[in-house]
Amino acid sequence: MINKLLIIGASGHGKVVADIALKMNKWVSIAFLDDDASIKSSMGIEVIGKSAEAFTNIQDYDIFVGIGNNSTREKIQKKLEAKGASIPSLIHPSAVIGEQVELESGTVVMAGVVINCCTKIGKGCIINTGATVDHDNIIEDFVHISPGAHLAGTVKVERGSWLGIGSVVSNNVYITSRCKVGAGAVVLRDITETGTYVGVPASKID
C-alpha cells in the first residue's frame, strides 16, 4: 500500500490541495513537485523536484495534480494515467457527500462543499470551497466549479468547463464542454455552444 503523496504544483491551488491531504491523515509523508526552482517549500512542505520527476516516482507515491488550469491539469493527469500512476481523490473532512455519489481519480472536494445523492463527478475535477452540487448531477472530467457556485438538481456540465465564483445553474440545465461561466452569472437555459457566458441571465459574449 502506498502511503506517500506527491502533489504537482506548489502554488495557490496546490497549497489548498496539500491542506486537504494533511487533514485527511492518510499519508505518512507529503511532498511537492514544482517547475519554479525558486520555490523550496510551501505550506511547510518540501518541494523535492520538478513536475517531470513524478514519472520516476510512480511506484513509490500516490500522485495528485494540484494545478488550477483545467487543460494543463488534464494533460498531466492523462500522462500519469498512461504510465499507471496511482491518482487519489481528495475530500476535505468538512465536505458533505450524499449517498450514491461517485468521485473519480484526481478530483478534489474542498471545505464546505455539499454534493447531494446520485451525482457523478468525473476525473480531475475541482469542486471548490463552499460550492453545492445537488442531486443527479453529472460533472464530466476536468471541470472546475469555483467557490460558492451552486448547481441545482439534474445539471450536466461537460468536460473541461469552468463555472466562476458565485455562479448559479438552474435545474435540468446542460452546459457543453470547454465553456466559461463568469462570476455571479445565472444560467437558466442550456448552453450548447462553447464560449464565455456572463450576466443574469447568462448570455454569450465570445
Q: Which among 92, 135, 144, 150 is annotated as catalytic?
A: 135
Q: How far apart are CA 192 and CA 173, in angstroms?
A: 10
Task: Give catalytic status of residue 135 as yes or no.
Answer: yes
**Helix, strand, or coil here: 21?**
helix
Q: Is 69 helix (H, G, I), strand (E, B) or coil?
A: coil
**What are the DSSP calls for 80-98, one per residue?**
HHHTT-B---EE-TT-EE-
End-to-end C-alpha distance for the chain, whole angstroms: 48
* CB-based contact 185:202 (threshold 8 Å): yes
Q: Which residues are catalytic?
A: 135
